[in-house]
Amino acid sequence: MNKQLPGWVDYGLLPILNLIAAFLVAGLVVLAIGENPLDAVGFILFGAFGYGEGFGYTLFYTTNFIFTGLAVAVAFHASQFNIGGEGQAYVGGLGVGLACLALDQTLPWYGILPFAILGGAAMGALWGAIPGYLYAKRGAHVVITTIMFNFLSFSLMVYLIVNYLKVPGNASVQSRTFEETAWLPKLTWLEPLVPGISGSPANLSLIVAFIACVFVYILIWRTRFGYEVRTYGANPEAARYAGISTTRVVVTIMALSGALAGMMALNPVMGEQNRIFLDIPQQAGFVGIAVALMGRSHPLWICFAALLFGVLYQGGAELAFEMPTINRDMIVVIQGLVILFAGAMEFLFRPLIAPLFAPPSAKAEAA
């Protein structure tokens, strides 16, 4: 198990093998239902890339998954497992929405944007920092507390929307729609390149997501704090002896993780629906787990993994339309398989592959 393998095998070949295994099993499920898996892939790719509006939707979903993937990833670096992205994104939607509701009559969108980002990040950070604090101070496992905080956010948001934010006399459970000047601009400047993209909800949040990626990269690999985080993640005992404060690292990283998840709400709240509504994240928080695992917690790979899931989400809609025997929940199956093979069974192929690439010294030892 501990044999050294070349870097490209560990970080390139094995993850790809895991991914292939996940998709092979997904293909078998499609086959078992009685459809042709290759046709299914064709529909997915056409739905995701085949026309401008579809591609726009792909980018829209990708934006969500970049944020939530980054959220899970930064927590992974401190060996914390934040399953609470869903809840953090939901309350983040409250922060974004309240900023818009408060300012949309006085400021244009670019004036509101900083406050909206701050609002979403602050609410998400709060929802992440409490589990972090409970772990650092009381030893309560972050996994359990973040699960509980997901459910707490669902109840809290329903309560707030129904009792305080809902427009009286209107049957739909949502806040009032923001003034149009407060809406984040769509990616209309891409129209010459991708005709039809302005018909989709893809918006400026995508750029914010890319900036967040750069920020996370610099923070984790180029700052003193990032070094402390990675040290703590690699060996908490050693970090403690080196004078790194558990409380500081865990609470800060969980707050940051929550903030990133909370910022996801920009995309649906300020960019798409332009109001606070029920179930803002729509599972994106959970998809973030698969994205972070697939992206090996690195911002660049997370972008690609997010795109893959964006393709699956948008293409899945097309697939469900073209093949009525398969519904959109197929994506959830693929998501589960990716988490299983890329996450839980990441060592599956290592014993098989290891002998092929063992360095000469190890071979000599074996002989």
Interface ranges with another protein (CB under 8 A): 29, 33-34, 81, 83, 134, 138, 140-141, 143-145, 147-149, 151-152, 155-156, 158-159, 163, 286, 289, 293, 324-327, 329-337, 339-340, 343-348
CB of 334 to another protein, least distance (A): 8
Cβ(300)–Cβ(96) under 8 Å? Answer: no
107 or 326, CB closer to another protein? 326
From CA 66, how far away is CA 201, in angstroms rounded?
A: 16
Residue listed under structure tokens 């005709």 = 195
CB of 53 to another protein, least distance (A): 26
CB of 41 to another protein, least distance (A): 16
From CA 204, how far away is CA 112, in angstroms rounded?
A: 13
CB of 256 to another protein, least distance (A): 20
From CA 317, how far away is CA 272, in angstroms rounded?
A: 18
Tokens standing for residue 164? 């305080």
CB of 305 to another protein, least distance (A): 15
Contacts of 326 (CB under 8 A, 6+ apart): 30, 33, 35, 40, 319, 320
Cα 19 to Cα 163, 251, 343: the distances in Å are 45, 33, 10
256 or 289, CB closer to another protein? 289
CB of 72 to another protein, least distance (A): 11
CB of 81 to another protein, least distance (A): 5
From CA 189, how far away is CA 82, in angstroms rounded?
A: 36
* Closest to 40 measured CA to CA, from 28, 30, 50: 30
CB of 269 to another protein, least distance (A): 20
CB of 154 to another protein, least distance (A): 8
Please give the backbone phi and psi of residue 203, each rounded to the nearest 5 degrees, phi first. -145, -175
146 or 198, CB closer to another protein? 146
183 or 313, CB closer to another protein? 313
Angle at 19 (CA atoms; ends 90, 73), nearest 5 degrees: 35
**In 10 A of CB 306, how many CB atoms?**
30
Contacts of 336 (CB under 8 A, 6+ apart): none
SS3 203: strand
From CA 3, how far away is CA 277, in angstroms rounded?
A: 51
163 or 360, CB closer to another protein? 163
What is the Cα gyration radius of the chain? 22
Q: Report which secondary-structure segment, H or E, holds 331.
A: helix 330-338
267 or 335, CB closer to another protein? 335
152 or 219, CB closer to another protein? 152
143 or 219, CB closer to another protein? 143
126 or 147, CB closer to another protein? 147
Residue listed under structure tokens 């949040």 = 205
